[in-house]
């Protein structure tokens, strides 16, 4: 009996073989892919709504502003809360200043917040633009190798041309595989940052209106302290002081006594007539 025929199975090339076939430009393309993946994961984690725009932060701030309970501890806690909290803290620190100054401080802080939210996005956009160019450069170098093989006398042997053609195709495919996801992620993250910035602007304007309305309203009076029983008991009125003797009446009485006891004056002697 004849042994059963064994059909040879095609062996798929390993990743390392593909990298080697792509030439030297595969290394910068692989580096770009690793950096792009790290940036996308970090930005997706950082730009979560619960980390940037906490849903329970604004109601708490409105209550504190309306009840006039804003102090340094509250502002410090807001600065450590989230990017939205840092923006609100900058506004509350200048709540007693004019509206123009308050708006200017909010705009300055907002620009810093936008810069932090867009961190690494320019790098991701650069990778999305550079990766296909690296693939195109690999295509050019592969075609150059193929033509060098033809010049060396290998026009009739396709194996002499396979190396250069493989390098051209693999480098192009690798560059596009890195550029396409990077560009999609860049557009998505850019749109997410713009949406967050719009929400922060709305909350900043609401804060300005709330601070102005709270400044026009007087602060709530402090609760009255209950009086003690001893203080609540009525006090007896003090007795009026005894009236002092009138000094004018006493002086008049002493003058009458002195005039009654004084001797009468003698008559003057009559002078002789001339």
- 3-state SS, one letter per residue, for 85-137: HHHHHHHHHCCCCCHHHHHHHHHHHHHHHHHHHCCCHHHHHHHHHHHHHHHHH
Cα–Cα dist 76/86, whole Å: 9
**Would you say residue 54 lies in a domain?**
yes
Cα separation, 214 vs 205, whole angstroms: 14
* Any domain includes 99: yes
Residue 23: count of CB within 10 angstroms of its CB:
21
User: Does residue 148 fall inside a structural domain?
Assistant: yes
Element (H, E) at 247: helix 247-261
Is 256 within a domain?
no
Whether the predicted pLDDT of 38 surpasses 70: yes
> pLDDT tens, 187-229?
999 999 999 999 999 988 888 888 888 777 765 554 444 444 4
Is residue 239 situated within a structural domain? no
Query: How many structural domains are present in the chain?
Result: 1
Task: Give one word for 150, left, alpha or beta, with left for phi > 0 and alpha for psi -120 to 50.
Answer: alpha
pLDDT at 225: 46
Q: What's the confidence (pLDDT) of residue 244? A: 46
Query: 235 lies in a domain?
Result: no
Using one digit for the tens of pLDDT, what is the confidence trace for 17-29?
777 777 788 899 9
Residue with tokens 């075609």: 143
State the residue range of the domain holding 199: 15-216
Whole-model pTM? Answer: 0.68
Q: Tell me if 1 is assigned to some domain.
A: no
State the pLDDT at residue 133: 94
Q: Is residue 24 part of a domain?
A: yes
Flag whether pLDDT at 185 surpasses 90.
Answer: yes
Count, residues in the chain? 274
pLDDT 10s digits, 227-237:
444 444 444 54
pLDDT 10s digits, 65-123:
888 888 888 888 888 888 898 998 988 888 888 888 888 889 999 899 999 999 999 99
Mean pLDDT of the residues in the chain: 77
């Amino acid at each position: 009996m004849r042994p059963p025929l064994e059909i040879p199975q095609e062996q798929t090339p390993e990743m390392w073989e593909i990298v080697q076939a792509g030439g030297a430009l595969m290394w910068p393309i692989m580096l770009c892919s690793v950096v792009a993946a790290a940036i996308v994961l970090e930005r997706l984690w950082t730009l979560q709504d619960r980390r940037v725009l906490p849903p329970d932060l604004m109601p708490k701030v409105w209550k504190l502003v309306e009840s006039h309970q804003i102090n340094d501890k509250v502002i410090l806690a807001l600065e450590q809360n989230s990017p939205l909290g840092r923006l609100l803290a900058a506004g509350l620190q200048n709540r007693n200043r004019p509206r123009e100054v308050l708006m200017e401080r909010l705009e300055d802080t907002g620009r810093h917040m936008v810069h932090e939210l867009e961190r690494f996005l320019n790098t991701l956009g650069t990778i999305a633009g550079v990766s296909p160019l690296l693939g195109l450069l690999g295509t050019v170098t592969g075609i150059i190798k193929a033509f060098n093989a033809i010049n060396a006398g290998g026009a009739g042997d396709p194996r002499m041309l396979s190396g250069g053609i493989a390098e051209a195709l693999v480098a192009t495919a690798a560059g596009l595989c890195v550029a396409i996801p990077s560009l999609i992620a860049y557009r998505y993250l850019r749109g997410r940052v713009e949406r967050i910035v719009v929400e922060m602007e709305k909350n900043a304007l609401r804060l300005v209106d709330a601070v102005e309305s709270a400044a026009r309203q007087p602060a709530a009076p402090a609760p009255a302290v209950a009086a003690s029983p001893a203080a609540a008991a009525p006090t007896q009125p003090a007795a009026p002081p005894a009236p002092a003797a009138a000094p004018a009446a006493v002086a008049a009485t002493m003058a009458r006594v002195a005039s009654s006891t004084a001797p009468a004056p003698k008559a003057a002697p009559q002078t002789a007539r001339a």
